[in-house]
Structure 1
């Protein structure tokens, strides 16, 4: 997503009773305890602890050390990578990327991909030009800032200013981090539409924000699929957006503006608590924005603010989950080895995912 100004200047709620994390692994505090004692920079931190920290609400700045730029990606330990490897049961690789060159435009502010073949008669080259977020993407930590914390300010991850975030010579918190340490771990798919059908529940409306994916849906789907989360997993949530978007006519797609309404995970404090306590390294979905957009709950923080600028948790958007969801259902296997390879651009704001799931 790109438009965040409409989050407003009002003060937004950051307190609440929260809920239990539900079905999950040992949790983020237990993960901190597994790091070598010599790494004294790491601090165990529950969601309740996050709420007490100074600075923008729920920020996790400095928890992995003052000079550590990887945020939640630190949860991807060698144990997490091996867990992903061990989830391979069939040796079946599945593409997770929408086409760059022929997928219909989604956001009018993001130019699509142009591909030019350079004909030198006895050999060929090619050139491509595209917005890094025009198709399947990772949002980097400099993509969306905290807004109005304090009032009137814009604050990116780690306290970075807009001027610093816009400087291509400043590589701090750039998506080049995702290339230097590729996001490779266990992925878990929560197939919400399939679960709703199985339970006889009302379907989602993927092209609006009227039916957000709630915490109850996430927990119910996870329980039904019998998946157990562990720190360092990447959570992937299917909404059915891709199928709904492609079912539109050309005229309907031309009129559709996802900034005015799009399915996604509900941006509530309880949902954020569940994500943090499960220790996800990153999250992704087939939607235009991982979260329901515009956010459904007035005065709430946006997930983009907290996950990107607060936690350093990459958001994956516009992932192609059609084949993956079908195979997961066929095999009754919703965990897999996830590999992604970002463009090696140091100061990148977003990047193509270049991802695959291996079942």
Structure 2
């Protein structure tokens, strides 16, 4: 066992000591059949933004748009390349490309290795970098440096940042030996989706959505969820991104549309009790980021409390920046909220996130 105590409110060990799927385990054959039974019109909707949106890095300074380039044979780029240069008399023309891609730049899944916490999993008073089900940083989730634990000066401000290089690892090496996104790919992430249209209920003003607001929206949309369902929340944010056509307005991006209030404990408890297998939104982080409520007395806290609750405690995958506008219009016209969802990430071993091209069928 990798842990002697688990975080309060977590489900570590409930799906087995070595589980790497978390709440995705709840998507079983019955949930897939329920999803398939929602196919009545035979209409499919792509729930992905173009993967070069939002454009630039105004939304997240670390993440950059994909860069496409030809593959090369020596000094020859293989785009519109006549094979007659290699095989005498050949008439073939070859185009072949590659991409440098931030895996969580646009429409994406977060894997369970995306957010962990400093937690005393051994019960000995020592904080360790820990992920869902007790998997550990620097042992199961590897990076090029050991960042060490944050230190504070006498005034409580963050102290100097002094990462220590991990011997034998390349400067850009990173790999999740456990909890990588390939686990969700193998699972398939196919089942029943339920859409709650927050934008239709509350509009697209900048606002936080807590438990009471979510319950009201679900009532207004006549939406209910059962264990194993995947819950999707439309705020209108992806539509705003799309309207900017790759030229994002940072001020507008960061002050548009609803996001969940990750500090609302009733909301977090509902997520636990609901049994949903995944939580998806069309906005940047599902929850409000940066948070609007931060303790000022030095009390330890999570900057992304909903991420910590879902990924670290429950093993509940999160989807971000999904495009839901067209699906929402179609479901509203039919008086429905449920549909068949197929959304596997890339089967890329060791990745902590992945682009996804979800397909909803109604």
Higher fraction of strand: 2
Give the count of matched residue pairs. Answer: 296
User: Could you say which residue in structure 1 is the equivalent of 2:265?
Assistant: 269
What's the CA shift for 1:323?
Answer: 1.0
TM-score by length of 2: 0.75
For residues 244 and 169 of structure 1, what CA distance do their matches in structure 2 show?
33
Trace 1:120-199 onto structure 2 (pairs within 5 A): 120-121=81-82, 122-147=93-118, 153-164=128-139, 165-166=141-142, 168=174, 170-196=176-202
Higher fraction of helix: 1
User: Could you say which residue in structure 1 is the equivalent of 2:340?
Assistant: 337
Change (3 A) 1:102 1:236: closer
Change (3 A) 1:151 1:253: farther
Trace 1:14-93 onto structure 2 (pairs within 5 A): 54-93=5-44
Match of 2:260, SS state, is coil
For residues 123 and 333 of structure 1, what CA distance do their matches in structure 2 show?
46
For residues 130 and 317 of structure 1, what CA distance do their matches in structure 2 show?
16
TM-score by length of 1: 0.76
For residues 278 and 169 of structure 1, what CA distance do their matches in structure 2 show?
32
For residues 340 and 249 of structure 1, what CA distance do their matches in structure 2 show?
25
CA RMSD of aligned residues (A): 2.5
Question: Which structure has the bigger radius of gyration?
Answer: 2
User: Could you say which residue in structure 1 is the equivalent of 2:73?
Assistant: none
Change (3 A) 1:128 1:228: same
User: Could you say which residue in structure 1 is the equivalent of 2:205?
Assistant: 205
For residues 248 and 308 of structure 2, what CA distance do their matches in structure 1 show?
31
For residues 319 and 43 of structure 2, what CA distance do their matches in structure 1 show?
22
Of the three residues 93, 116, 119, the one matched with 2:69 is: 116
Q: Is the 8 A contact 2:208 2:259 kept in 1?
A: yes
Change (3 A) 1:151 1:320: farther
Match of 2:209, SS state, is coil
Aligned pair 1:322/2:325, yes or no?
A: yes
User: Could you say which residue in structure 2 is the equivalent of 1:220?
Assistant: 216
For residues 159 and 68 of structure 1, what CA distance do their matches in structure 2 show?
10
For residues 25 and 245 of structure 2, what CA distance do their matches in structure 1 show?
43
Q: Which runs of no fewer than 5 residues in structure 1 stay unpaired?
A: 1-52, 197-202
Change (3 A) 1:155 1:256: farther
Q: Is the 8 A contact 2:109 2:318 kept in 1?
A: yes
Of the three residues 225, 238, 242, the one matched with 2:238 is: 242
